[in-house]
Structure 1
Amino acid sequence: MSAKPERPTNSNENSVKVESEEHDQGKSTIEVNEEKLPSRAAAVHEQIRMEGEKELERDWLALMLSALAAGLSMGASLAAKGIFHARLPDDPSRFFIENIGYTFGFIIVIMARQQLFTENTVTAVLPIMHKPTPKNFAILFRLWGIVLLGNLLGTGLAALAFIHMPIFDENTRAAFTSLSEEIMHNSPGEMFANGILAGWIIATMVWMFPSAGAAKIWVIVLMTYLVAICDLTHIVVGSVEILYLVFSGALPWQEFFYPFAIPTLAGNIIGGSFIFALISHAQIRNDMSDKTKAERLKAQRENHSRKEHTDKLDRE
């Protein structure tokens, strides 16, 4: 992390701009050089914060199209999982093999740099925690609203395609229904609690990316596979499954929103933003505060030494 990437500049004066200490100081970059920061964790934090500011300042149409693509791509998780479920023998090993399919959508979305809502519960939140002004919160809610809407539209289109296009055989369609109905066995409280843990795991995955290097794809596979085998609830992947039930007539519309979407969304946000991001930010802010205090104390000592030297010369 020795590089010091520059923030993108936008000549449009009406573009969205995140308020930050760097802007107040007239700087165009966020320092991510580990040698100039108090810890490696601080360097990771600042790199993710820089990425978050870029996402927060993106054009709304670009965000919407990227989020729509992510929702469509997440259909790959249900498709792969359903195919495995339909074709593997019904024994205990099937559960662990079919859940490898759950990771496919995440691999596509993250490696293609598409906008996924649960990634933004940590990436986009760090700049706001760095400077929690009303304007920054408004920019965050703008991003969340656009990305969540785009993701849900994409998952809805994926579910409709799976139902109405002649892609899958009857056994695979039956597997889609069976897998999706398993989610609805959870109570609203279970949806919420599972969503918290899923949000935490996805936020942890995002935090690991700057250090992952060429192993990034394995981080995605391992962390999302953990979400799958724990049967946790994720607002985007789960929406493909629940909307499949809704559009096939197996579930009324209102049950998509409750008991599924509202508790799951709340859990994902709390797990990713208010727990993981807040704790991680608090840790780094303490490091940065200690560094600032040390630098101020060093400057005071140097000033005192210079003053003593000047007084000595004056006396001579």
Structure 2
Amino acid sequence: MTEEHENRLSPASAMDDLTQGEQRAVDHQSRPSAALIHETIRAEGERELERSAFALMMSGLAAGLSIGFSVVVPAILVVALPEAPWKHLLTSLGYTVGFLIVVLGRQQLFTENTLTPVLPLLRNPSRRRVLQVLRLWSIVLVSNIAATWMFAAVLAHTPVFDAEIRQAIATFSASTMASPFGAMFLKAVFAGWLIALMVWLMPASGDSKPFVIVVVTYVVALGGFAHIIAGSVEASFLVQSGAASFGDYAFTFFLPTLLGNMVGGVALVACFNFGQVAPELQQ
């Protein structure tokens, strides 16, 4: 085959034969590359690292309160639906509501931040970057957890929901602290992995972002995986209603879940996905 014939068949040459409108149509149909997704999330991470402590705190509080609906809606469905083998399949859909509010509302959720601010750190590692990431993590995590305790206090100590719904919350919240440390850690790894993957998928999702959020968080609910913020609403509800101690919250739920979510998000998503695009970024 001649060089001229090879050039005629090359992708670049083929694109040159298209009209501008056709080229735009091809670009529109093409999937974003991994490097483009990485740079989109990294740029967002850069902005998040520069936000003020007050802005991060308020956004974190909003997210912690909003995620409470991932506990309330399933309880309402548990009460409303008849007993049936498929009941868990429908009640698990309620778990997605809080995440839809948080992600589409651009509120700060700790598990999302196991990816977004980590990519700038991996791209340009430095002491300043490490301190920025630790600052963001600490502010968001503390504000998320504080808000979950406030939400759980309302559930436990006010009549905003009737006794039947509160009993449903207590019943399925009991599974939050029913696993030993190792099992809880592994469940949390899967949850952190899935939530960080959800963030990775968002730049390529376009108008399908709500669908991506629902599918990924639905899998978290179906699998009974442990999420540090949504689970904190359940665990702190048990503490405030007298069904568990603060020690149970801290060592049976919080510690293994936090560690697992961080391993799932940072190691399995941030590091792996950075690794696949690192050679391209260095060119």
Q: What's the TM-score once normalised by structure 1's chain length?
A: 0.79
Q: Which amino acid aligns with 2:50?
A: E
Q: Is residue 236 of structure 1 aligned with residue 229 of structure 2? A: yes
Deviation per residue, 1:29-59 (Å, 9 max, x gap): xxxxx9xxxx711011000000001111100
Whichever of the two has the greater Rg, that structure is 1
Q: Is residue 203 of structure 1 aligned with residue 188 of structure 2? A: no
Q: State the shift of 1:245 in Å.
A: 0.3
Which of 234, 250, 255 is equivalent to 2:248?
Answer: 255
Partner Cα separation in structure 2 for residue 275 and residue 41 of structure 1? 15
The structure showing larger relative contact order (alpha-carbon pairs under 8 Å, at least 6 residues apart) is 2
Which of 72, 83, 91 is equivalent to 1:79?
Answer: 72
Partner Cα separation in structure 1 for residue 268 and residue 65 of structure 2? 29
Deviation per residue, 1:157-193 (Å, 9 max, x gap): 1001112222111111100000100122111111100
SS of residue matched to 1:55 = helix
Partner Cα separation in structure 2 for residue 275 and residue 179 of structure 1? 28
Deviation per residue, 1:202-261 (Å, 9 max, x gap): 111101101111110000000000000000000000000000000111100111111110
Equivalent residue runs for 1:27-176 within 5 Å? 40-176=33-169
Partner Cα separation in structure 2 for residue 95 and residue 195 of structure 1? 20
Unpaired segments ≥5 residues, structure 1? 1-33, 293-316
Deviation per residue, 1:256-291 (Å, 9 max, x gap): 1111101000000010012211010011112223xx
Q: Which amino acid aligns with 1:210?
A: P
SS of residue matched to 1:197 = helix
Unpaired segments ≥5 residues, structure 2? 1-26
Partner Cα separation in structure 1 for residue 165 and residue 241 of structure 2? 14
Aligned to 2:3: none
Q: Is residue 214 of structure 1 aligned with residue 207 of structure 2? A: yes
Which of 182, 186, 190 is equivalent to 2:183?
Answer: 190
Q: Which amino acid aligns with 1:100?
A: L
Aligned to 1:299: none
Partner Cα separation in structure 1 for residue 177 and residue 255 of structure 2? 13
Q: Which amino acid aligns with 2:134?
A: F
Q: State the shift of 1:93 in Å.
A: 1.1
Residues paired across the two proteins, number = 253
Q: State the shift of 1:137 in Å.
A: 0.4
Partner Cα separation in structure 2 for residue 154 and residue 185 of structure 1? 23
Partner Cα separation in structure 1 for residue 134 and residue 97 of structure 2? 28
Q: Which amino acid aligns with 1:60?
A: A
Partner Cα separation in structure 1 for residue 225 and residue 146 of structure 2? 22
Which of 260, 264, 275 is equivalent to 2:257?
Answer: 264
Partner Cα separation in structure 1 for residue 94 and residue 180 of structure 2? 25
Which of 191, 198, 219 is equivalent to 1:226?
Answer: 219
Aligned to 2:10: none
Partner Cα separation in structure 2 for residue 101 and residue 217 of structure 1? 14
Aligned to 2:267: 274
Deviation per residue, 1:130-175 (Å, 9 max, x gap): 1111111011000000000000011011001112222111111100
Higher helix share: 2
Q: Which amino acid aligns with 2:199?
A: V
- Cα RMSD (Å): 1.1
SS of residue matched to 2:142 = helix
Moved over 6 A (4+): none
Q: State the shift of 1:120 in Å.
A: 0.4
